Each structure stands twice: as structure tokens, then as C-alpha cells.
């Protein structure tokens, strides 16, 4: 006998989400997301309105401004050059930005949140943990140096955030060593992925002349370029201090400083005057639009990056993409952008004398300067292509999604049900609780619920109900939904019972075999299914109960269907038992409003009174927090096709569920329970289960 295929269905094919709260690296994100788009990866960016120049995604990815939305209007214009006031506004608005991000993502099927910047690690860690509880995976790119022991308060907050990251991306091996040295707990989670770049057409001498004309620079002078946002750590004053020594060797040398000033320039202007550099420095402290960037790099003979601290630099990558040699300081990963291919020079930080010597050495050998630039350009083309970076990043996303959550310690729970909505109206609170605790929770659903509405088209209804299941699975935090491949049979006597693919029409052994396949694929320590009467005598529920009991025993037997996968013996089998207190309250409520409890349910086909009269032993009581109950309620509301019109009865049921249904009840079927057993955790006594060979 051949077994039917068991289809593991991702809840929704959603792509990763990129988070850059301050819109600090728009061009980096644009390069990476553009490459993702070319690879067919659907990606979304959550950021802030651009302070200077918008980056047009060109339809390649979606951008949502959850952070500092006011900065996109007149307020942003007023604050653009008021750095301290802008930082204060951002600090006050940051928590609300995180809250908007949480609201935007909490009901989405879990994917990967790629955090580019964690601006307030303590709060960012809260968001990351809340999303991880719903099945998300967290990847963080370390763009700036992490605080060390000299900053214990900040270091502690960063450690808190990094502890919940499934993977950390750095751009060079040296940075990986630095991160692991400062944060040993990160060992094994650090991945080196190069900073992406774009090799531009190599500028000719004619291009250089035209670029200098566009920028108003005098031809024939050696040009040094310091490019990018001006901040104290970028060492502009060190470069200015080196200029007298450079000018003594190259009197006509010109330093061009281009980039928005995010610091006070008064000390810089005083230093220029004191050193007599007025005719040797062109200071343009304004934002450089993207269409002018090429002119600056093309006009330069040498790009200088005298930073005092940094992890990696997009300016270095951009300079090398234009075939320009660079002088960098020995901080962060900068030497690794230069030394392996001899495409620049490296000097100690905060050392104007060494910086001047390196610049003079580079300018003194024009032929070697050109060769260094060409090696830099080749390096970008070979090792930093955005497509390769995107492929490596996508592979990392796939890897972290395959790994169990860090809290789960390999624990897996599987619920075997019959229809979309059984996971929500049944043990949904327990599924949500364990998913929030980091357990991998899987729902094996036998049918698509094609008979859930009398008179409806079965195929269309099945598609709608499966979409509702996707929504509910996201709300509960389920890892995977599996479709066993059968059709909803409807209630007893329904014409759907006679459909050739109806679940009740299938041989029990065949259904059990499909569940065996699911168990061997998922490998759960704990399995949950319906009680012997299927909750409310639904024939599909009863079939699922019987087949699951049989499959639970067979899945661990090496001699049983070895072609169905490696045998796996789950530890515990539970029956979810609807609360008889709730059922009896429901019966009374229906009678109070003049309804017949023997004809309950949306289609009037549930005998609630007879169900309430049947008792089962309770061996486990799982307490549900208010947050978990709210998740169960959110999942339930996804199944709109099964809820019917809102009325007094439905509101009463919701109130009972919200305030009385704070505990899920279970009967332990396997192993045989001892007398008086009363558990509060379904994983009580469970140890890691090994494969049966």
C-alpha cells in the first residue's frame, strides 16, 4: 500500500523584514534589498522618513515609516540642522516607533527580522523577544563597534540585546574576533558577510578633469577627499593636523571635505585658521546628493579615512568601487579592506604624523597609486558584489529559520486535528503558550474544512478556511502547518460523508500511516489530539482521534513501514478535553436565551447537552496568562467563516472564554497515568528523545 504525501505548508510565503529605525544606512539597505529583489526574495523595510535625500526603492521592496513619522514633514526640515534637538525628539519618539513596529509585525507569519541598528538595546531587546515568542528569528548586523568594559552600563544593555539574536553579521574576520572576544556568548552565532559594493566604470583622466570642473576645483592640484557625514569620531581634526606636513612635501595639495556636519564646526574652523590652511581646504559641510557622489570620488586622487573608531565603512567600499586607493586607520575592520590586496595604506588612529607620512608616500608614487586603485576596484568586483552578499544573507536567513529557538532546548509539540479552526477553538491557548515559551509547535490538519458551511462551494470554502488557518497560525505562533490531504466529511448524514476523498471514507490504517509520516518528520516529544468522542461527536474528529492513537504507537516501531522515514517514539500523548464547566455553562446560557442546546453551533448540528454529560479524567491543567488568552482570541477571530453574525450568544461565549477559560484541560493517554496524577506542564518528565534505530 502506498501512503499519501504529507504536505508541510508554510503559513504564508513572507519574506524577511529589514529594520533601520534611524534610517542610518539607506544606501546599504537599498543595495541589499535590490539584490534580494533580483533573487526573487520579497522584503520589507521598516525605517524612518529620510532626513536628507529619499532613496527610491523603484518597486523592488516596500518601505514603512514606523519611526519618527513627523520628521518627514515640516518638522524634519526645521530639525535638519539642529542636531541636539533632533536627537531629543528621536529619543522621546523611539518607544512609540518600536510599538508601531510590533503592531505591524505581531500578526504576520513569523519570518526573519534583520536589525541593522539597535539604537536603544534595552528596548530593542524587548521587541526582539516579543517577536521571538511568536516564532520570529532575529539577525543583527554589527555596523558600529560594540561597547567594551569601559562602558559597563551600555555593554550590559548590548549584551541583553545580543543574547536574543539568532545570528550576528559582521563584515570582516577581525570584527568577528572582536565581537566574540567582547561577548563570548556570541560564539557560534557570528557570520562574516562582506559589505556590498558596486564597481563603477573606471574613471579616465578626462572624467577626472570634468569632475573637478563640476565641483569648482582647480585642475593640476593633488586632491585628498574626506567624504561622508561629519562626526567627531571620523578624525577630521587629525587629518587637518597632518596637513602642514603634507603641504611641506606637496604645497599645492588640496583637501576636500564633503558631507553633512553632525557636529559643531567651530573648532574645525579655528583649527584651519590656526594652521593656515584656508587655501588648502575646501569645506563643504552639506549633504551630498547621490547624483553628485561620483563627481567627488572621480575628482579625488586619494581618499582618506582617518576614523578613530568604527566597525566597517561604506565610504571605503564606495571609494574602491570608483577605483580609488584609500588611507585608513587601524580600527575595526578597516585594515581588512586594504591590506590583503595592497589597495591602500594603514596607519594608527589619532596619529597625524603617521597619517601625513602615508599620504605623502601615496602621492609620491602616482603609478603605484593608480595600481592600488585598480586592485581596490577589482576587489569590489570580485568579493563585494551585492548579489553574492544577498545570497549569503539569504542562506543565513534560511539557516536560522531551520534552527530551533534558543529557549526551546529542542522541545516540539504537535497537535493533530481535523479542520482549520480546531487549533484555535480547541487547545489554542496551550499551543500559544508553548510557542511563546520557545517550543516548536506544529499543527497537522487532516482537511481544509470544505464542509464547514452548509450549501457553500466546497473547494472555494476550503481555500478560504485554509487562509484563515494561516492567519490563526500566525497569531498563535505556530512553526508549521501540515495538511494531511483529506476532505472535510461534514456532520453525520451529510452528503459530504460520501465524497471519495472524505476523511471518514478513508481506511483508518491509511490515515494512521499519514500521521506516522507526520510524526517521523516533525519528531515531537508531545502529541495532542481529540478525546474519544472527538470533542462533540464530529465524525472527522473521531477518526483523527483513533488514527492518532494508532500512529502514536506505530511511529516508533522500526519494523512498521520503514519506508515512511526514521522511526521516532514520542514521549506523551494527550487528549484535549473541553472544560465541562464551560460546556454546562454554555448549555444553561443557551436555554436562558431560548435556544435548544441539542442544536447548537453555526449549522445547528452540535448536541452540546449530550457532550456536556460525558466526563473524562483530567491529568494536566495548563494555566494561560491573559496575554496567551488574548492570542487565542485573536486566532479565533481569524476564522470569520465559522463565527457567524455577532450576537448575544457569541458575545456571551467570548466573555466566558476570556474570563473563565484561563485553563486548558488534558487527559494523559500515553504513558498510562498513575492514580492522582495532576500535571501543570505537558513536558513534565520529558527528556530529549533519540531516534529509534
At 114-133, the pLDDT tens digits run 999 998 999 999 999 888 87
Q: What is the pLDDT of residues 329-358, one digit of tens each?
A: 999 889 999 988 899 999 999 999 999 999
Q: Please list, residue by residue across 537-546, b when 16 or more beta carbons sit within 10 angstroms of its beta carbon and e when fewer do.
A: bbbbbbbbbb
User: What is the DSSP pairing of strand 663-670 with strand 620-623?
Assistant: antiparallel
DSSP codes of every residue in 468-483: HHHHHHHHHT-SEEEE
Which DSSP helix (H) or strand (E) runs through 257? strand 254-258
Pairing mode, strands 663-670 and 572-577: antiparallel
* pLDDT given for residue 652 in this prediction: 46
Strand (E) or helix (H) holding 425: helix 422-425
pLDDT, tens digit (0-9, with 9 covering 90-100), for 498-508: 888 899 999 99
CB 91 within 8 A of CB 129: no
pLDDT band at 603 (very low <50, low <70, confident <90, very high): low
Mean pLDDT, range 529-548, rounded to an integer:
92
Distance CA 586, CA 607 (A): 12
pLDDT given at position 641 = 84
All structural domains of the chain, each given as residue ranges with its CATH number in brackets, are 7-192 (3.40.50.2000), 205-383 (3.40.50.2000), 409-670 (3.40.50.10320)
Query: How many Å apart are CA 494 and CA 414, to the nearest integer?
Result: 29
Q: What is the pLDDT of residue 658?
A: 52
CA angle 467, 469, 475 (to 5 degrees): 115
Res 649 pLDDT > 50: no
Name the grid cell of 126.
524587548
| Strand arrangement of the beta sheet that strand 112-115 belongs to | 62-65, 44-47, 17-20, 112-115, 137-141, 167-170, 190-192
- H helix intervals, 565-639: 580-592, 608-612, 626-638
Instruction: Choose between 154 and 623: higher pLDDT.
Output: 623
C-alpha cell recorded at residue 151: 562602558
Cis peptide bond upstream of 671, omega within 30: yes
pLDDT higher for 236 or 150? 236
DSSP string, 351-375: -HHHHHHHHHHHHT-HHHHHHHHHH
Distance of CA 30 to the CA centre of its chain: 17
Q: How does residue 453 score in pLDDT terms, banded at 50, 70 and 90?
A: low
| C-alpha–C-alpha distance, residues 448 and 465, integer Å | 7
Q: What is the pLDDT of residues 75-104, one digit of tens each?
A: 666 666 666 777 777 778 899 999 999 989
pLDDT at position 458 is 59
Quick one: which of 446, 485, 450 has its CA closest to 5?
A: 485
- pTM for this entry: 0.61
Amino acid at each position: 500500500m502506498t501512503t499519501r504525501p504529507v504536505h508541510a505548508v508554510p503559513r504564508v510565503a513572507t519574506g524577511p523584514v529589514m529594520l533601520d529605525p534611524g534610517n542610518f544606512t539607506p544606501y546599504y539597505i537599498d543595495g541589499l534589498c535590490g539584490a534580494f529583489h533580483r533573487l526573487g526574495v520579497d522584503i520589507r523595510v521598516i525605517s524612518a522618513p529620510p532626513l536628507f535625500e529619499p532613496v527610491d526603492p523603484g518597486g523592488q521592496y516596500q518601505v514603512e515609516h514606523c519611526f519618527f513619522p513627523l520628521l518627514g514633514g515640516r518638522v524634519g526640515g526645521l530639525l535638519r540642522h539642529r542636531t541636539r534637538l533632533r536627537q531629543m525628539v528621536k529619543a522621546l519618539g523611539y518607544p512609540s516607533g518600536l510599538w508601531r513596529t510590533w503592531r505591524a509585525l505581531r500578526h504576520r507569519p513569523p519570518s526573519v527580522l534583520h536589525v541593522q541598528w539597535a539604537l536603544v538595546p534595552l528596548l530593542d531587546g524587548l521587541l526582539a523577544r516579543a517577536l521571538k515568542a511568536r516564532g520570529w528569528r532575529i539577525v543583527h548586523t554589527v555596523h558600529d563597534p560594540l561597547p567594551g568594559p569601559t562602558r559597563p552600563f551600555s555593554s550590559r544593555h548590548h549584551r541583553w540585546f545580543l543574547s536574543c539574536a539568532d545570528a550576528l553579521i559582521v563584515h570582516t574576520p577581525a570584527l568577528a574576533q572582536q565581537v566574540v572576544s567582547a561577548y563570548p556568548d556570541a560564539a557560534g552565532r557570528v557570520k562574516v558577510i562582506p559589505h556590498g559594493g558596486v564597481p563603477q566604470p573606471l574613471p579616465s583622466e578626462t572624467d577626472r578633469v570634468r569632475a573637478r570642473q563640476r565641483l569648482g576645483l582647480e585642475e593640476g592640484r593633488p586632491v585628498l577627499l574626506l567624504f561622508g557625514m561629519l562626526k567627531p569620531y571620523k578624525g577630521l581634526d587629525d587629518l587637518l593636523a597632518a596637513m602642514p606636513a603634507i603641504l611641506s612635501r606637496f604645497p599645492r595639495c588640496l583637501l576636500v571635505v564633503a558631507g553633512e556636519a553632525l557636529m559643531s564646526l567651530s573648532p574645525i574652523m579655528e583649527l584651519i585658521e590656526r594652521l593656515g590652511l584656508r587655501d588648502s581646504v575646501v569645506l563643504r559641510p552639506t549633504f551630498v546628493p547621490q547624483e553628485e557622489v561620483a563627481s567627488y570620488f572621480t575628482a579625488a586622487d586619494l581618499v582618506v579615512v582617518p576614523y578613530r573608531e568604527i566597525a566597517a565603512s561604506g565610504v571605503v567600499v564606495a571609494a574602491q568601487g570608483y577605483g580609488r586607493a584609500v588611507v585608513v586607520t587601524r580600527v575595526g575592520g578597516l585594515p581588512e579592506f586594504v591590506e590583503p590586496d595592497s589597495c591602500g595604506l594603514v596607519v594608527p588612529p589619532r596619529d597625524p604624523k603617521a597619517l601625513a607620512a602615508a599620504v605623502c608616500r601615496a602621492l609620491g608614487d602616482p603609478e603605484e597609486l593608480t595600481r592600488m586603485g585598480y586592485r581596490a576596484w577589482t576587489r569590489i568586483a570580485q568579493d563585494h558584489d551585492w548579489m553574492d552578499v544577498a545570497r549569503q544573507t539569504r542562506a543565513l536567513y534560511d539557516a536560522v529559520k531551520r534552527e530551533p529557538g534558543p529557549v526551546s532546548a529542542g522541545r516540539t509539540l504537535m497537535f493533530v486535528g481535523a479542520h482549520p479552526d480546531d487549533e484555535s477553538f480547541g487547545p489554542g491557548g496551550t499551543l500559544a503558550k508553548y510557542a511563546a515559551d520557545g517550543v516548536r509547535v506544529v499543527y497537522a490538519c487532516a482537511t481544509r474544512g470544505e464542509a464547514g458551511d452548509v450549501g457553500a462551494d466546497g473547494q472555494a470554502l476550503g481555500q478560504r478556511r485554509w487562509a484563515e488557518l494561516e492567519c490563526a497560525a500566525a497569531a498563535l505562533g505556530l512553526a508549521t502547518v501540515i495538511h494531511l490531504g483529506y476532505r472535510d466529511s461534514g456532520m453525520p448524514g451529510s452528503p459530504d460523508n460520501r465524497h471519495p476523498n472524505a476523511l471518514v471514507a478513508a481506511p483508518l490504517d491509511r490515515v494512521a500511516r499519514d500521521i506516522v509520516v507526520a510524526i517521523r518528520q516533525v519528531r515531537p516529544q508531545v502529541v495532542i489530539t481529540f478525546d474519544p468522542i472527538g470533542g462533540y461527536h464530529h465524525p472527522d474528529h473521531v477518526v483523527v482521534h483513533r488514527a492518532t492513537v494508532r500512529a502514536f504507537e506505530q511511529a516508533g516501531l522500526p519494523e512498521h513501514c520503514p519506508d515512511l522515514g526514521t522511526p521516532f517514539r514520542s514521549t506523551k500523548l494527550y487528549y484535549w478535553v473541553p472544560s465541562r464547566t464551560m460546556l454546562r455553562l454554555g448549555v444553561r446560557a443557551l436555554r436562558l436565551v431560548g435556544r435548544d442546546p441539542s442544536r447548537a453551533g453555526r449549522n445547528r448540528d452540535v448536541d452540546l447537552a449530550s457532550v456536556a454529560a460525558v466526563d473524562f479524567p483530567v491529568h494536566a491543567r495548563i494555566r494561560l496568562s491573559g496575554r496567551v488568552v488574548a492570542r487565542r482570541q485573536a486566532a479565533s477571530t481569524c476564522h470569520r467563516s465559522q463565527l457567524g453574525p455577532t450576537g448575544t450568544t457569541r458575545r456571551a461565549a467570548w466573555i466566558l472564554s476570556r474570563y473563565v477559560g484561563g485553563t486548558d484541560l488534558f487527559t494523559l493517554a500515553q504513558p498510562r497515568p498513575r492514580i492522582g496524577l495532576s500535571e501543570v506542564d505537558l513536558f513534565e518528565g520529558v527528556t530529549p528523545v533519540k531516534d529509534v534505530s
